[in-house]
Amino acid sequence: MIFGKGSKMYSISKMKCPQCQEGKFLVSHPYDFKHLGDVRENCEVCDLKYEREPGFYYGAMYVSYALGVALFVTIWTSCNLWFPWLSAWWQIGLVVFFTIVLSPYLFALSKIIWANFFISYNPHAEDRK
């Protein structure tokens, strides 16, 4: 299953630990501005250290850029396909609006995607704690 436990998509969509897929990855939800994008130090279930090395999540900027481009292309294409009468300024306004509204979520999403590039699922990870 593409979204079943054990897949990377499960970890990303639920924002769970990439290794055990049980523990929480973020300190709080993505729109908690006090803890915006804060990742826990360790998994509370399997004790995995999330930050592999200092500056590990700097690479998530590339993922965030790709998500931003995907958002732009999706909105721009959708407007041109289904609302061709909208002017370019309205389309730009929609892109800016959705970019601002979704930025905290995309920021958190980029970190969990980046972690899933380097950390694999281990069904026996809970047993090691």
pLDDT tens-digit map of 76-107 = 999 999 999 999 999 999 999 999 999 999 99
Flag whether pLDDT at 24 surpasses 60: yes
For the chain, what is the mean pLDDT?
91
Burial of 82-119, coded b for 16+ CB within 10 Å and e otherwise, reads eeeeeeeeebeebbeeeeeeebbebbbbbbbbbbbeeb
Q: What is the pLDDT of residues 27-57, one digit of tens each?
A: 999 999 999 889 999 999 999 999 888 899 9
pLDDT of residue 52: 86
Flag whether pLDDT at 61 surpasses 90: yes
Flag whether pLDDT at 127 surpasses 70: no
pLDDT of residue 58: 93
pLDDT of residue 122: 87
Flag whether pLDDT at 11 surpasses 70: yes
In degrees, rounded to 5, the angle at the alpha carbon of residue 57 between the alpha carbons of residues 99 and 129 is 120
